[in-house]
Amino acid sequence: MMLGSRDNGNSSNDECQDTESEEQAKPPESSDATRGYVLRPLRLDDEERFLKMATASKSFHSGWVRLPLRKDEFTSLVNKSIMGDTVALAIVHESGPISGLIAIESIDQARGAANVSFAVDVRGQRQGLISSFLPQAIEWVQGEIGTTTFFAFVQAGNASSEGLLRKLGFCPEEGSEITINIEGVEKKHARWVFRKFADLNLPQNDG
C-alpha cells in the first residue's frame, strides 16, 4: 500500500484550472521519453522486479512515500487489486524493469470516489511517466468502474507533485489538510481533487 505521492517529473506551476474546460478534457499525449514504457496491472509474478525497484529507491522516497518493501506487503497489494478494492498498475519498461507504480485505492463505488497515489523510481525521474500514465489510469477506472472523483494526498513542500497534479487538472481543497504517518513520522498532507474528464469518450460496459 502506498502513502502519499511522489514524482519529480515535468511539473507546472500554473493556476489551478477548471477541470470541465476543453483544455483539461483529454489526457496529454505520451512524450517521446515514455515510448518503450507500458502501463499494465501489477501481477504476482512481478514480485522480484517490483521489490528490486522499491528497495533500490527506498532512500530516494524516504520520508515522502511508502512503497511495499516486503513480500507480504507486495502480495497484499496485488490481492487487493484482484479483489477490486484497489487498482494497482505497474509502469514497465520494454526491457523488463518496473519503473513505477500508480495505485487507485479505497474505491468507493457508492460515492464514485477513490484515492490516487504514485511513485517512480530514480531512473524513471523527469521522463513524464506519471503525467502520461496517470490520466490513462484515471480514464480506465472511470470507464470500467464508474469512478468520477479522485483524491490525491500531497505532503507539504512537495512542489513537484503539486505542479504535476495541477497540470493534470487536480485542484487543492481548502481546509482538507490531514496527517499521514510515514515511517513513524507524522507528515502533513493536503488533499487534491480531480473530477471526470468532461468530454472524454469512455468505453461503455455492455449490459
pLDDT of the chain along its 207 residues, tens only? 444 444 444 433 344 544 333 333 333 344 455 678 999 999 999 999 999 988 888 766 655 667 888 999 999 999 998 888 899 999 999 888 999 999 999 999 899 999 999 988 867 667 789 989 999 999 999 888 999 999 999 888 788 888 889 999 999 988 778 777 776 778 788 899 998 654 444 444 443
Domain boundaries, the chain: 32-195
4: cell is 502519499
Helix (H) or strand (E) holding 23: none
**Beta pairing, strands 178-182 & 185-195:** antiparallel
- What is the spatial distance between Cα 154 and Cα 198, in angstroms, rounded to a whole number? 24
Of 1.10.340.30, 3.40.960.10, 3.40.50.720, 3.40.630.30, which CATH number belongs to 32-195?
3.40.630.30
Helix (H) or strand (E) holding 47: helix 47-56
Q: What is the pLDDT of residue 96?
A: 87
Calculate the CA 156 to chain-centre distance.
Answer: 17
> Across the chain, which distance is largest between two alpha carbons, in Å?
48
Q: pTM for this one?
A: 0.75
Q: What is the pLDDT of residue 183?
A: 67
